[in-house]
Chain A
Amino acid sequence: MIDLPWNFAAIPQYFLRFFPAALMTLQITALGIFVGLGLGFVAGMMRLSTYKLISLPSHFYIWVIRGTPLLLQLFIIYYGLAVIVSIPRLPAAVIALGIHNGAYIAEIFRGAVQSIERGQREAALSLGMTSWQSMKRIILPQAFRRAIPPLGNQFIIALKDSSLASTIAVRELLLRTRQVGSSQFMMMEMLIIAAVYYLMLTSVLTLITNRIEKNLSKSDRRN
């Protein structure tokens, strides 16, 4: 048998020690997604407006955020803004993740709304609905359903991106891994533990979105 330079037998005994850090990862992700959904919904709706004054700011936001790295955005919020407001680590990570995901989620919502056949809006208007009523009752409920698969995908990306919070010393999975790994001289072993945690979290997220998608498609089959 080849003698590996790693001590994998130590993995089980360290595994549970990472639980609090995994919870922190989950917390950053959940809050980040929450902020991102809010921002993304508003920006997505604004982007759909025919009024330039409303759609342009949203366009600009999406352009800037999608065109720059998340790590840079995080540093701007945590280090760059420090001279005027000092935002604590966790909120800084959540805000950065939220603003970043908001841009992508805006595009997801916009795409979903635009994918609803024009005839749906026309049928709603022809019943005497206002533009807003047709959006609220007819377009958005269908668009939300269509947005679920890409949203699930985005949530998984957000979960993995939350590891960037380690760079501003938020005690999430990756930071914890590096700390324990270097103090115990078992970097590879601890990285493997982190990988397992990430895989578990992303798999659960995938299962949940698949379940929601399946339940919805039971009632919403296309015409």
Chain B
Amino acid sequence: MYKNNIIEIKNLDKYYGKLHVLKNISFCVKKQEVVVIIGASGSGKSTLLRCINFLEFAQKGTISIDEKIIKTKATDLHKVRQEVGMVFQHFNLFPHFTALGNIIEGPVQVKKISKTKAILRAEQLLEQIGLVNKRDNYPSALSGGEKQRVAIARALAMDPKIMLFDEPTSSLDPELVGEVLSVMKDLAKKGMTMIVVTHEMGFAREVADRVIYMDEGRIVEEGDPEKIYQSPENERTKAFLSQIL
């Protein structure tokens, strides 16, 4: 299709048994683009992200990353996943490692970078997320916002080309949302390609290049944030937005 599309998704169909979860999904993401996905619970947002990271497999359609179609049977998916970082709603930090241990785990185990080098890089990341002083804390001794920031740093330590965020702030207490969003905004401004499932409109308006609205497994509407939030064309988008705003 176009040059500079780091992700191209064509005609994706995904079923869980008989449940048709993703219906003919097609969209592209350009390098350095920030795309926000919104939609009601159960509309397939998580499933879509998980397909892009090959934690789930679609039955039909293709996903290209960096202009290569990824054939799920023939490719070493763990190599693909190294390029695609993921941040989860429930953090999923490794409880048996410290904050630093979580961050160096990928580089040391997967990229086989020396521990000394990995620690140097991890310390930079800890500074970037403002948690230098929590370096040796176990996840159990971190607040939700701190956990999620460490989880972001853990993904960044692999130097991914793309970052996927699945409702990164929706399990946080309201007063902790801001610190996570600000790390993400920072990242967006540095030019990271991001797909973010979130209902944080402030974030979308500030950094998103495009907002996609999903409903019952379909992309119903997409456009720049102002257009989607101010004057959505689709009735269902309107109804949805009136609920969350």
Interface segment, B104-112, B121-129, B172-180, B183-191? B104-112
Name the one of A119, A123, A130, A222 contacting B78, with C-beta atoms under 8 angstroms. A130
**Residue contact A126 to B81, C-beta cutoff 8 Å:** yes
**Residue contact B106 to A221, C-beta cutoff 8 Å:** no
Task: For residue B122, give the distance in angstroms from its CB to the closest CB of chain A.
Answer: 13
Over the window 157-168 of chain B, the binary record of Cβ atoms lying under 8 Å from chain A Cβ atoms (1 yes, 0 no) is: 010000000000
Interface assignment of A127: CB less than 8 Å from any CB of chain B: yes
Over the window 127-158 of chain B, the binary record of Cβ atoms lying under 8 Å from chain A Cβ atoms (1 yes, 0 no) is: 00000000000111100000100010011001
Closest A residue to B94 using CB positions: A138
What A residues does B88 contact at CB under 8 A? Answer: 119, 122-123
Name the one of A127, A129, A141 contacting B155, with C-beta atoms under 8 angstroms. A127
What A residues does B158 contact at CB under 8 A? Answer: 127-128
Over the window 20-32 of chain A, the binary record of Cβ atoms lying under 8 Å from chain B Cβ atoms (1 yes, 0 no) is: 0000000000000
User: With the chains together, A191 CA to B151 CA distance in Å?
Assistant: 59
**Residue contact B155 to A219, C-beta cutoff 8 Å:** no
Given A137-B109, A219-B138, A222-B140: A120 touches B78 (CB 8 Å cut-off): no
What A residues does B82 contact at CB under 8 A? Answer: 127-128
Interface assignment of B30: CB less than 8 Å from any CB of chain A: no
**Residue contact A128 to B93, C-beta cutoff 8 Å:** no
**Sample (15) of A-B pairs whose CB atoms are under 8 Å apart:** A119-B90, A120-B92, A122-B88, A123-B86, A123-B154, A124-B94, A126-B84, A127-B81, A128-B106, A130-B78, A137-B109, A142-B96, A221-B140, A222-B95, A222-B140
Interface assignment of A133: CB less than 8 Å from any CB of chain B: yes
Interface assignment of A223: CB less than 8 Å from any CB of chain B: yes
Interface assignment of B53: CB less than 8 Å from any CB of chain A: yes
What B residues does A128 contact at CB under 8 A? Answer: 78-79, 81-82, 106, 110-111, 158
Given A122-B55, A221-B140, A223-B139: A129 touches B110 (CB 8 Å cut-off): yes
What B residues does A3 contact at CB under 8 A? Answer: none
Over the window 136-154 of chain A, the binary record of Cβ atoms lying under 8 Å from chain B Cβ atoms (1 yes, 0 no) is: 0110011001000000000
Taking beta carbons and an 8 Å cutoff, which residues of A are in contact with B? 117, 119-120, 122-130, 133, 137-138, 141-142, 145, 219-223
User: With the chains together, A133 CA to B105 CA distance in Å?
Assistant: 11
What A residues does B79 contact at CB under 8 A? Answer: 128
**Residue contact B92 to A133, C-beta cutoff 8 Å:** no
Given A221-B95, A223-B139: A126 touches B86 (CB 8 Å cut-off): yes
User: With the chains together, A112 CA to B111 CA distance in Å?
Assistant: 29
Name the one of A130, A137, A220, A223 contacting B93, with C-beta atoms under 8 angstroms. A223
